[in-house]
Chains A and B, each alone.
Chain A
Amino acid sequence: MKIDYHALGLKVGLECHQQLATRGKLFCNCKPHLFKGEPEIIFLRRLRPTQSELGQVDPAAFFEFQKGMKILYEADAETSCLVEMDEEPPHDLNREALDVSLTIALMMNAKPVDEIYVMRKIVIDGSNTTGFQRTCVVAVDGSINVDGKNVPIQHICLEEDAARKMGEEGFLIRYRIDRLGIPLVEITTGPVMNTPEEAERVALAIGKILRSTRRVKRGIGTIRQDLNISIRDGALVEIKGVQELELISKVVEYEVQRQLSLLKIRDELRQRDLREDELKERFVDVTSVFRETQCQILQRAISQGKIILAVKLPKIAGLLAFELTPGLRFGGELADRARFWGRVGGILHTDELKSYGVSDKEISELRRSAGAGEEDAVVIVADKIENASDALKAVVERVREAINGVPEETRAANPDGTTRYMRPRPGAARMYPETDVPPIKITGEHLERLRAQLPEPPGDKIKRLMSSYGLNEKLARQLLDMEYDNLFEVAVKETNVTPTVVAATLTETFKALKREGVKIENLTEEQIVEIFKIVGLEKTSKESIPEIVRWLTKHEGSNPMEAIKELGLTMLSEEELKSLIEEYLDKNKDLIAEKKLGALGGLIGIIMKDLRGKAKPELVNKILREKLAERLSG
Chain B
Amino acid sequence: MSERLPGYRGLALKMLLEAGADIGDLIRVVKDNVVLEGVLIPRSEYSDDKHIVIKSRSGYNIGVEVTPATKVERVRTELKPLFVPPPPPEQRTGLPKVTILSTGGTIASRVDYRTGAVRPVISASDLYSIVPELSDIAVIDAEILFSIFSEDLTPKNWSAMARAVADHISRGIDGVVVTHGTDTMGYSAAALSFALQKLPVPVVFVGAQRSEDRPSSDAPMNLIGAVYAASSAPFAEVTVAMHETPSDEAIIIHRGTKVRKCHTSRRDAFKTVNSKPLARIVNNKIFILTNNYQPRDLERKIILKPEFDERAALIKFYPGMNPKIIDWYVSEGYRGIVLEGTGLGHVRRECFPAIKGAIDADVIVAMTSQCIWGRVNMNVYSNGRDLLSIGVIPLDDMLAETALVKMMWCLAQSKSIDEAKNLLITNIANEFSDRTVEHFEPPKFSMG
Contacts and interface: CB of A to CB of B under 8 A. Distances in A.
Secondary structure type dominating chain B contacts:
loop
B443 interface: no
Query: Which of B47, B129, B448 has most A Cβ within 10 Å?
Result: B448
Interface stretch (A126-134, A288-296, A614-622): A126-134
B267 A54 contact: no
B246 A87 contact: yes
A122 B215 contact: yes
A53 B113 contact: yes
A433 B61 contact: yes
A188 B111 CA distance: 27
B167 interface: no
Contacts of B380: none
Using C-beta atoms within 8 Å of the partner chain, give the interface range for chain B.
Answer: 35 or more
B60 A155 contact: yes
A50 B217 CA distance: 10
Interface stretch (B62-70, B226-234, B287-295, B405-413): B62-70
A119 B53 CA distance: 13
B216 interface: yes
Interface in B69-112: 81-86, 110-112
A428 B58 CA distance: 8
Interface in A62-85: 70, 82, 85
B216 A41 contact: no
B147 interface: no
B63 A115 contact: yes
Interface string B36-71: 100000001001000101011011111111000000
Contacts of A88: 264-266
A433 B53 CA distance: 11
A47 B214 CA distance: 9
Interface string A86-107: 1111000000000000000000
Contacts of B183: none
Given A53-B81, A130-B214, A131-B216, A115 B447 contact: no
Contact of B113 (A141, A431, A439): A431
A117 B58 CA distance: 13
B34 interface: yes
A43 B446 CA distance: 10
A452 interface: no
Contacts of A428: 59
Nearest to B111: A432
A114 B51 contact: yes
Contacts of A136: 60
A140 B57 CA distance: 13
A42 interface: yes
Contacts of A439: 44, 47, 53, 63
A44 B248 contact: yes
B213 A50 contact: yes
A111 interface: yes
A428 B221 CA distance: 28
A129 B110 CA distance: 19
Contacts of B266: 82, 87-88
A633 interface: no
Contacts of A433: 61, 116
B154 interface: no
B215 A130 contact: yes
B322 interface: no
A511 interface: no
B62 A117 contact: yes
Nearest to B211: A435
Interface string A28-61: 0000000000000111111111111111000000
A428 B81 CA distance: 14
Contact of B246 (A43, A50, A51): A43
Contacts of A441: 51, 63
B284 interface: no
Using C-beta atoms within 8 Å of the partner chain, give the interface range for chain A.
Answer: 35 or more
Contacts of B214: 50, 120, 130-132
B63 A116 contact: yes
Interface string A151-163: 0000101000000
Contact of B248 (A45, A155, A157): A45
Contact of B65 (A115, A121, A155): A115
A50 B61 contact: no
Interface in A491-548: none
Interface in A425-461: 428-433, 439, 441
Given A55-B81, A433-B116, A115 B64 contact: yes
B169 interface: no
Given A111-B34, A132-B214, A50 B110 contact: yes
Given A115-B65, A439-B47, A52 B448 contact: no
A137 interface: yes
B59 A430 contact: yes
Contacts of A140: 34, 36, 62
Nearest to A130: B216
A119 B64 contact: no
Contact of B448 (A43, A50, A115, A137): A43
A48 B215 contact: yes
A113 interface: yes
Contacts of B213: 50, 432
Contacts of B34: 111, 140-141
Contacts of B118: 432
A119 B246 contact: no
Given A42-B447, A88-B265, A439-B63, A117 B248 contact: no
A429 B448 contact: no
Nearest to A157: B60
Interface in B167-207: none
A88 B267 CA distance: 9
A124 interface: yes
Interface string B430-445: 0000000000000000
A254 to B, nearest CB: 28
Contacts of B83: 51, 53, 55
A43 B247 contact: yes
A157 B62 CA distance: 11
Given A50-B111, A51-B130, A85-B246, A119 B61 contact: yes
20 contacts: A43-B246, A43-B447, A47-B215, A48-B220, A49-B215, A55-B81, A86-B210, A111-B34, A114-B51, A115-B64, A117-B63, A129-B216, A130-B214, A137-B56, A155-B60, A428-B59, A432-B113, A433-B61, A439-B53, A441-B51
Nearest 4 pairs of A and B residues by beta carbon: A115-B63, A131-B215, A43-B448, A431-B59
Given A50-B213, A89-B265, A117-B62, 5 more contacts: A49-B215, A54-B81, A55-B83, A88-B265, A432-B111
